[in-house]
Amino acid sequence: MTTMISWTAANSRKIARQERKRRLGPLGILTHLALLVWTLLVMVPILWTFLASVKSEDEIFGDAWSLPASLRWDNFARAWEQAHIGQYMLNSVIVVTFSTFGTMLIGSMAAYVLARYPFRGNRAVYLLFVSGLAFPVYLALTPLFFVVQNMGNVPLLGPFIGLNTHAGLVLVYIAYSMPFTVFFLSAFFRTLPTAVGEAAMVDGASHTRVFFQIMLPMARPGIISITIFNILGQWNQYQLPLVLLQERDKWVLTQGIADISTAAGYDQDWSALFAALTLAILPMLVVYTVFQRQIQSGLTSGALK
């Protein structure tokens, strides 16, 4: 009996493999090969960076893939203290937290109104938001610098939102992330059923209550997906803070790592550089790993609807 069950299971697995191969076809096989190559191109540099972060400099410039004789955790201590990576990381956390919150709050409300409330000029406003996706940020760096500089002349608020301020960078990040946020969420809000919101309004709920207590929970997959994308994009942003933050104590993490990379050519502290890169990669890797299912759920939900 046991032999019969084992044979049946093995035969079922064989049939399943043959069925998968039949469904894949040549195009499917090429697609899987391309994904495999892409995975290697992404993972190999990350793994090498992690490995180099616990090596000495002689080991880094020796056999690239050899294991270290001992784990050099002091590399992280030098990167954290001497290179001030701890301060830069704290600045990045503060800026990204407030900018992501502002982006999602304003962007979700704008997307909801554009998706669910017809009014004169609705399409024009939507296209104005979407047109922001067509212009790279590099084209706006010079006028953006002067705009933020002029914001520093605003009475009372000027010292807090001008150049070399985290609040000014937060406002720029919000504006920078708004086009994609509105584009993504407006499409998602259009797919949500209207019956629940209409029933709540018949019972006396206000538009604000319907949005925050009914529509936002229903749009949770899309909200989580776009939130993670905004966190990743703002965390890795380099060009905007390079232009708007010139005081060293206000730098964010990308500026700090660039400074270490430049100094490494003179100080030859490559171990601290790779340790700093590891510290920059790990938080985003953890965030994406934790919320991977929610991101996939949000993307597939929007696609299927």
Q: Is residue 67 part of a domain?
A: no
The listed range with the strongest mean pLDDT (6-20, 80-94, 96-110, 212-226) is: 96-110
SS3 66: coil
If one compares 94 and 265, the residue with the highest pLDDT of the two is 94
The answer to whether 241 and 230 have CB atoms below 8 angstroms apart is: no
Distances (CA, A) of 85 to 252, 256, 257, 276, 277: 9, 7, 8, 7, 10
Q: Kindly state whether residues 39 and 90 are assigned to the same domain.
A: no
Residues 212-231: tens digit of each pLDDT:
998 998 888 889 889 988 99
The listed range with the strongest mean pLDDT (97-106, 116-125, 152-161, 291-300) is: 97-106
- Cα–Cα distance, 212 to 148 (Å, whole number): 32
Q: Is residue 57 part of a domain?
A: no
Q: What angle is formed at CA 54 by the lines to CA 46 and CA 43, rounded to 5 degrees?
A: 10
The answer to whether 187 and 153 have CB atoms below 8 angstroms apart is: no
The answer to whether 55 and 72 have CB atoms below 8 angstroms apart is: yes
Q: Count of alpha carbons within 13 Å of 124, Cβ hemisphere only?
A: 3
Q: Kindly state whether residues 175 and 33 are assigned to the same domain.
A: no
Q: Is the predicted pLDDT of residue 271 greater than 90, yes or no?
A: no
Q: Kindly state whether residues 151 and 209 are assigned to the same domain.
A: yes
CATH number of the domain bearing residue 132 = 1.10.3720.10
Q: Is the predicted pLDDT of residue 1 greater than 70, yes or no?
A: no
For residues 63-87, give the mean pLDDT.
86
- Quick one: tokens of 119? 């009014």
For residues 15-40, give the mean pLDDT.
74
SS3 33: helix
If one compares 21 and 303, the residue with the highest pLDDT of the two is 21
What pTM, to 2 d.p., does this model score?
0.83
Those residues whose C-beta lies under 8 Å from the C-beta of residue 267, and which sit 6 or more positions away, are: none
Q: Kindly state whether residues 42 and 147 are assigned to the same domain.
A: no
- Quick one: tokens of 1? 């009996």
* Average pLDDT for the chain: 84
- Cα–Cα distance, 123 to 118 (Å, whole number): 9
* Domain encompassing residue 35: 2-52
For residues 3-30, give the mean pLDDT.
61
DSSP state of 137: G
If one compares 185 and 7, the residue with the highest pLDDT of the two is 185
Q: How many CB atoms lie within 10 A of CB 60?
A: 19
Give residue 296's pLDDT. Answer: 67
Q: What angle is formed at CA 222 by the lines to CA 218 and CA 225, rounded to 5 degrees?
A: 140
Q: Is residue 266 part of a domain?
A: yes
Question: pLDDT tier at 193 (50, 70, 90 boundaries)?
Answer: confident
Count of domains forming the chain: 2
- Cα–Cα distance, 87 to 84 (Å, whole number): 5
Give residue 304's pLDDT. Answer: 47
DSSP state of 212: I
State the residue for tokens 């803070």.
241
Q: Is the predicted pLDDT of residue 32 greater than 90, yes or no?
A: no
For residues 144-150, give the mean pLDDT.
92
Q: Kindly state whether residues 128 and 197 are assigned to the same domain.
A: yes
Q: Is the predicted pLDDT of residue 303 greater than 50, yes or no?
A: no
